[in-house]
C-alpha cells in the first residue's frame, strides 16, 4: 500500500533510503536542517572524503545508482605506509584488482539528493526537526530562517538525522529506548595536501596513505581535483595530543619530527591547523531502532561509530538495503517488519563498532609492524590456496556482504589461530612452506 513517508535528514543515508522508498511507490518528503548544499560551490579540495566499499556499493547497485556514483570515485588498491624517515611500504587490501573507493562526501551527498529528487522525493531545507509524535507519526519542524513551526503528518517517520539524531532523542525521551554515547579519548582534524601542477596528485592516488605512529596517526585519501584530504587522529589531551599543539612552533615542530615527508606537501600547514576544527569521536548505541509500525532509524542515528574501518556510511547504506528486503518479505505487516529490522540490524551496528575500534589499533600501530604485515601475507596466501576455508577479516568487511557481526566473530577466531601460527620458529623464512599451510588447515 502506498504510504506517506517523512525522512528526517537528507545526508547520505536519508537520501539513499528515499530512493528505496520511492522505488516502492511511496510518497517521500525529506526535511533537512541545513541549507541545500548543492547551492554552494564546493571549493576545490575542501570537501571531506570517505571510503566506499562493497556493502555500500551493493546497496547503491540494488537501487540502480552505483554507476553514477562510480563516476566520482577513485579506486584505492592498497595501503601505503609512511614511516618516520619517510620510507614507504605497501600492503594490498585484497587480491589484485580488488579496491575500496575514495569519494568526496559533499559530491556524493549532492549526487544522492539529486537522484532522490529525480525519483520523486520532495526535499525541504532549513527545516529542523524539533519533535516527533509517535502516536500519529507526525513530525514538527522549525524553519531555521523564519523560526516558524509546522507539523507534518505521515504514515512512517524515518530518522536519518545522524549521530545527534533528534528522532532518536525523542524515542529515548518518550518511549524510554536504551541509549549510550561513548566518547573515545581521541579527536581528529582535517588537513589538505593541495594538487600539484595541472591538478596532478603529488603522491599515489590509488592508495590510502597512512602515517602510523602508535598512539596516533595521519591518513590521506585522494580527491578527483588532485588534492588529498588528510585526517590527523590523536589523543585529545596528554602526550602528543591536540591539547599540546597550539602555537605555530609547537605544530610545525611536531609535524617536522613526526611526519617529515608530509610537511613539505602542505605549504600552509599552520593556517589550516588554526582554521579547521578539532572534532571529537564517539559511538552511539540505542535499542530498539523502531517504534511500533510508524518510526524507524537508519544510519548514524542508530549506530554512529568511530571512522577507523571506513564503514559508517557503508553500514548505513546496508541498513537501507536490508530494510528493503524485509519490506519485500513482510509486505503490509510493517510491525513485524520493523521489529525484525531492529532485531537483525542491532548486532550489526554493534559489530561495525567493535570492528572500527579494533581497526584503530591496527591502523595506527600494527601497519608499521613487520610481523603483522607478514601475518596478513600468510592469511592471503592461505585464503587463495583454500578459498572456502578463509576470508581475511579486512576482506570480509570491505569486499563482501557478510554481516558485520559474523565478520567480527570469525575474525576474532582467526586472530587466535594466527597467534599460534606466528609462534612457529623461523616463521619469517618458513611462511611460504607447505607445512605452514597444512598447519593452518589443521586449525580451521
Binding residue for ligand FAD (CB under 6 A) from 54, 300, 324, 379? 300
Q: By C-beta, is 34 or 150 nearer to ligand FAD?
A: 34
Q: Applying CB under 6 A, does 311 fall inside the site for ligand FAD? A: yes
Which residues inside 197-236 make contact with ligand FAD, applying CB under 6 A?
Answer: 231
Q: How far apart are CA 114 and CA 159, in angstroms?
A: 20
Beta bridge partners of 123: 30
Tell me how many degrees the CA angle 255-307-103 measures, rounded to the nearest 5. 90
Binding residue for ligand FAD (CB under 6 A) from 18, 286, 314, 348? 314
CB of 201 to ligand FAD, least distance (A): 18
Taking a C-beta distance cutoff of 8 angstroms, is the pair 182, 354 a contact? no
CB of 34 to ligand FAD, least distance (A): 5
Q: How far apart are CA 53 and CA 103, in angstroms?
A: 10
Q: By C-beta, is 142 or 263 nearer to ligand FAD?
A: 142
Which residues inside 117-156 make contact with ligand FAD, applying CB under 6 A?
Answer: 128-129
CB of 31 to ligand FAD, least distance (A): 6
Q: Applying CB under 6 A, does 94 fall inside the site for ligand FAD? A: no
Q: Applying CB under 6 A, does 183 fall inside the site for ligand FAD? A: no
Q: Applying CB under 6 A, does 159 fall inside the site for ligand FAD? A: no
Binding residue for ligand FAD (CB under 6 A) from 19, 51, 297, 407? 51
Q: Which residue, judged by CB position, is nearest to ligand FAD in the bound state?
A: 11
Question: Which of the ranges 256-264, 306-314, 340-348, 363-371 carries the binding residues for ligand FAD, by CB under 6 A?
Answer: 306-314
For the stretch 102-132, what's the b/e string if a residue is b when 16 or more beta carbons lie within 10 angstroms of its beta carbon?
bbbbbbbbbbbbebbbebebebebbbbbebb
Binding residue for ligand FAD (CB under 6 A) from 94, 288, 316, 351? 316
CB of 51 to ligand FAD, least distance (A): 4
Q: By C-beta, is 164 or 438 nearer to ligand FAD?
A: 164
Q: Applying CB under 6 A, does 54 fall inside the site for ligand FAD? A: no
Q: Applying CB under 6 A, does 69 fall inside the site for ligand FAD? A: no
Q: Applying CB under 6 A, does 8 fall inside the site for ligand FAD? A: yes
Q: Applying CB under 6 A, does 411 fall inside the site for ligand FAD? A: no
Cell of 87: 620510507
Question: Which of the ranges 147-155, 158-166, 370-378, 435-443 carries the binding residues for ligand FAD, by CB under 6 A?
Answer: 158-166
CB of 441 to ligand FAD, least distance (A): 34
Residues near ligand FAD, by CB under 6 A:
8-14, 31-34, 50-51, 128-129, 160-162, 166, 188, 231, 299-300, 307, 310-314, 316
Amino acid at each position: 500500500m502506498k504510504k506517506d513517508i517523512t525522512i528526517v535528514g537528507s545526508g547520505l543515508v536519508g537520501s539513499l533510503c528515499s530512493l528505496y522508498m520511492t522505488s516502492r511507490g511511496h510518497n517521500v518528503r525529506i526535511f533537512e536542517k541545513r541549507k541545500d548544499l548543492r547551492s554552494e560551490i564546493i571549493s576545490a579540495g575542501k570537501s571531506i572524503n570517505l571510503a566506499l566499499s562493497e556493502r555500500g556499493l551493493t546497496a547503491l547497485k540494488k537501487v540502480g545508482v552505483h554507476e553514477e556514483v562510480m563516476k566520482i570515485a577513485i579506486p584505492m588498491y592498497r595501503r601505503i605506509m609512511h614511516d618516520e624517515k619517510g620510507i614507504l611500504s605497501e600492503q594490498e587490501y585484497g587480491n589484485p584488482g580488488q579496491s575500496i573507493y575514495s569519494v568526496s562526501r559533499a559530491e556524493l551527498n549532492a549526487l544522492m539528493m539529486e537522484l532522490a529528487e529525480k525519483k520523486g522525493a520532495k526535499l525541504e531545507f532549513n527545516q529542523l526537526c524539533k519533535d516527533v509524535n509517535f502516536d500519529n507519526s507526525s513530525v514538527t519542524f522549525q524553519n531555521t530562517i523564519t523560526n516558524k513551526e509546522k507539523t507534518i503528518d505521515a504514515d512512517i517517520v524515518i530518522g536519518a538525522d545522524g549521530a545527534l539524531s533528534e528522532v532518536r532523542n525523542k524515542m529515548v525521551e518518550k518511549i524510554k529506548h536504551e541509549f549510550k554515547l561513548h566518547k573515545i579519548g581521541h579527536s581528529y582534524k582535517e588537513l589538505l595536501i593541495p594538487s600539484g601542477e595541472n591538478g596532478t596528485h603529488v603522491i599515489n592516488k590509488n592508495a590510502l596513505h597512512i602515517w602510523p605512529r602508535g598512539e596516533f596517526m595521519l591518513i590521506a585519501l585522494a580527491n578527483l581535483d588532485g588534492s588529498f584530504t588528510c585526517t590527523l587522529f590523536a589523543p585529545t589531551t596528554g602526550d602528543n595530543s591536540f591539547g599540546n599543539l597550539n602555537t605555530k612552533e609547537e605544530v610545525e615542530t611536531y609535524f617536522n619530527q613526526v611526519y617529515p615527508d608530509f610537511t613539505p606537501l602542505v605549504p600552509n600547514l599552520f593556517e589550516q591547523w588554526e582554521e579547521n576544527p578539532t572534532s571529537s569521536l564517539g559511538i552511539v548505541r540505542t535499542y530498539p531502532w523502531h517504534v511500533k509500525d510508524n518510526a524507524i532509524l537508519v544510519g548514524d542515528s542508530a549506530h554512529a561509530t568511530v571512522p577507523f574501518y571506513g564503514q559508517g556510511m557503508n553500514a548505513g547504506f546496508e541498513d537501507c538495503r536490508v530494510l528493503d528486503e524485509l519490506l519485500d518479505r513482510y509486505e503490509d505487516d510493517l510491525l513485524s517488519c520493523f521489529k525484525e529490522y531492529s532485531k537483525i540490524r542491532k548486532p550489526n551496528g554493534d559489530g561495525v563498532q567493535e570492528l572500527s575500534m579494533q581497526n584503530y589499533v591496527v591502523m595506527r600501530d600494527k601497519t608499521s609492524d613487520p610481523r603483522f604485515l607478514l601475518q596478513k601475507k600468510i592469511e592471503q596466501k592461505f585464503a587463495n590456496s583454500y578459498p572456502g576455508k578463509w576470508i581475511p577479516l579486512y576482506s570480509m568487511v570491505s569486499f563482501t556482504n557478510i554481516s558485520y557481526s559474523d565478520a567480527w566473530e570469525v575474525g576474532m577466531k582467526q586472530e587466535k589461530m594466527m597467534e599460534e601460527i606466528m609462534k612457529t620458529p623461523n616463521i619469517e623464512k618458513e611462511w611460504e612452506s607447505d607445512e605452514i599451510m597444512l598447519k593452518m588447515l589443521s586449525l580451521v
